Amino acid sequence: MRGPHNLWRLIRTGATFQRTGAMGAALDAVDAPPRLRLAARMLGWPFAWLGYKGDPALPPITRAITALGPAYIKFGQIMSTRADVVGVELADQLRMLQDRLPPFSTDVARTMIATELRQPVEALFSEFSDPVAAASIAQVHHARRADTGQEVAVKVLRPGIEAAFRRDIDAFHFAAGLIERLLPQSRRLRPRDVIAHFESVVTGELDLRLEAASASQYIENTAQDQGFALPSPHWDLSGRRVLTSDWAEGLPMGDVPALREAGHDLHGLAERVLQLFLRHALRDGFFHADMHQGNLKVAASGDIIAYDFGIMGQIDAYTRRIYAEILMGFIQRDYHRVARVHFEAGYVPRDRDEAAFARALRAVGEPIFGADASRISMASLLGYLFEVTERFGMQTRTELILLQRTMVVVEGVARSLDPNINIWQAARPVVEDYIRDALGPRAIGRDLHLVAQTISRYGPLLPRIVDQVLWDMARREAPETPPPSHDRSRLWLGGAALALGGIALGAMLG
C-alpha cells in the first residue's frame, strides 16, 4: 500500500545514500534546489547509521544503489538513459549498473527449475553450468538439452524477486508523489507516470513466459533482416520463472579490442546496430528496448545477435509517423517542419510560439551538422534540448519513454564501436524508406483499406445503430410519439447502403 509507512523505506534509502556519500553527488548531478536538498538532509543525515554500507570499491551512487537491492538496480539501469530526469553526468555513472552483478547459488537455481518444470534438472539437461551472467532480476546458466544435445541458455529469476519489487515500487510511488508536492516544477517530468511506466516494464520482466512470447514475435518480425540473429525460445523448457532459449555464441559487443582483433568492421557494426533499431521501431512498432552492450554479441559471421527480451517497446502507427517526421525534419534541417509536427501532435501547448520553438530547435540541431562527430558534446546538446523543452512547456511523453531511452542507449553502443560515426547519416536511409512507405500513395491506399474494413465489419450493426439514434431523437422531441416508420426506413436503407459501400470498397482495395 502506498501509505505513510513507506516513509521508513525512504528513510532507509536516504540513510544509505548519506552513508555511502551518494546523497551529495546525486543532488549536485540534478542541480537540486535548496528545498529538496534540505528535505534530503532531514531524511538522510540523522539516520545515516541505518543505511547499508555497500561496496566501498564502487563509486558512491552505484555503491548505494547496489546496496539497496535489485529494484533500485533496475530503476538505476532505466534512469541511466533518462538524462533529462537525472542529468547527463549522473546518467553516465548509472550505466555502470549494466555490468555483472553477484549471482545466487546454483543449487537454488536447480531447485527453482525442478519446481517450475516439474522434473529434476538432470532429467532435462545433460550439462548445467554455474551462472555465466547475473543481472538484477535473473541469472543465466549454460546447459545442454538431455533429449537433443543442443546447447541452450537457461534463465532463472532471482528467488523472492517478485515480493522485493512490489515492496520497493510501492515506496517509489510514494516518493514520486512527495517530490511532486515539494517540487511543483518537477511535474513537467511527470515523476508518478515515470514510476508507473517503470512498474509496468518490471512486471513484464517478472514473467519469463512473456519474454518468450516477445522473443517469438520479434523473431517473426525480423526474419528477413540481414546481419541480425535472435535465439529462439524453447517453450517446452520454459515457465513463469524459467526461460530456456538457444545458446548465442559470439563476442560481446562491449569488447571492442576483441572485435577489432577478430577482424570485424566496427564502423559497419555501429551503423547496422543503429539502423536495425530504427527499422524495428518505425517499420514494426516493436523493438528491443534494452539494447546495451550486455545484451548484444557479434557472431563469427559478423551477424549482430540480440538477446534478453524482457523489455520490449511498442508504439502505434500514428506515433511512429510523428517520430519519423521529427527525425526527417532534423535530418533535412527543416526546423519549421519539426516544430509544426510537435504542435500538431500536441507535444507542445498550442499557446506557445511555433516560430520561436523552431528557432530553439535550430540551436539544438545545427551544432550536429558540419562538425566532426567526435567533437560534438552530447552532454551540452542534451542539456540545451531539455532546457528548450522546459521553456516551451513540453511534458514527458510516457508512451515515448522506451523509445527515447533506447535511442540514447543505441547511440552509445554505436559510438563505443566507432566514435566518429555520423548518427544522422546512418539514420537517414532508414527514415527515408519509412517516410516513403508510410506517407506516400501506398500508405493512403492502406489507410482507406483499413477504413473500409472497419465499416464493413460494423455493417450489420449500422441499421440498428441508426434506428436507435432516430428513436432517441424522436423521444426527445415528442416523448409519447414513436418515430415515423418511413423516416426510420430511410435511415435503415441509408445505413445499409453505407455498409454495402464499405464492403465494396474493402473488396476493391483488398
The string of pLDDT tens digits covering residues 25-46 is 677 665 667 776 777 666 666 6
Does residue 129 surpass a pLDDT of 70?
A: yes
Per-residue confidence (pLDDT) for residue 381, from 0 to 100: 54
How far is residue 153's CA from residue 234's CA, in Å, rounded to a whole number? 10
Which is nearest to 50 in space by CA: 10, 23, 22? 10
* Cell numbers representing residue 188 in the block: 513537467
Does residue 79 surpass a pLDDT of 70?
A: no
Reported confidence tier of residue 395, pLDDT bands at 50, 70, 90: low
Mean pLDDT of the chain: 78
89 burial via Cβ count (<10 Å: 0-12, 13-18, 19+):
middle
> What's the pLDDT tens digit per position in 232-249?
999 999 999 999 999 999
Per-residue confidence (pLDDT) for residue 498, from 0 to 100: 45
Reported confidence tier of residue 204, pLDDT bands at 50, 70, 90: confident
Does residue 263 surpass a pLDDT of 90?
A: yes
Which is nearest to 365 in space by CA: 347, 338, 396, 325? 338
Which is nearest to 422 in space by CA: 374, 377, 381, 384? 374
Strand extents, DSSP E, 43-89: none
- Is the CB of residue 98 less than 8 Å from the CB of residue 77? yes
How far is residue 144's CA from residue 154's CA, in Å, rounded to a whole number? 9
Amino acid present at 507: A
Reported confidence tier of residue 348, pLDDT bands at 50, 70, 90: confident
Report CA torsion sign: 482, 487, 490, 494.
negative
* Cell numbers representing residue 207 in the block: 514473467
Total Cβ atoms within 10 A of residue 382: 17
- Residue 238's φ and ψ, nearest 5 degrees, are -130, 155
3-state secondary structure of 405: helix
- Most confident region among 95-99, 387-391, 398-402 by mean pLDDT: 387-391
* Cell numbers representing residue 135 in the block: 543481472
- Whether 290 is catalytic is yes
Q: Which of 84, 168, 290, 308 is catalytic?
A: 290
Q: Which helix (H) or strand (E) holds 498?
A: helix 485-509
How far from 63 is each of 17, 32, 53, 168, 365, CA to CA, in Å? Answer: 9, 21, 8, 18, 36
SS3 content of the chain, % helix, strand, coil (to 5): 65, 10, 25
Which is nearest to 175 in space by CA: 63, 50, 71? 71
How far is residue 125's CA from residue 200's CA, in Å, rounded to a whole number? 33
3-state secondary structure of 254: coil
How far is residue 410's CA from residue 289's CA, in Å, rounded to a whole number? 9
Reported confidence tier of residue 11, pLDDT bands at 50, 70, 90: confident
pTM, to two decimals: 0.72
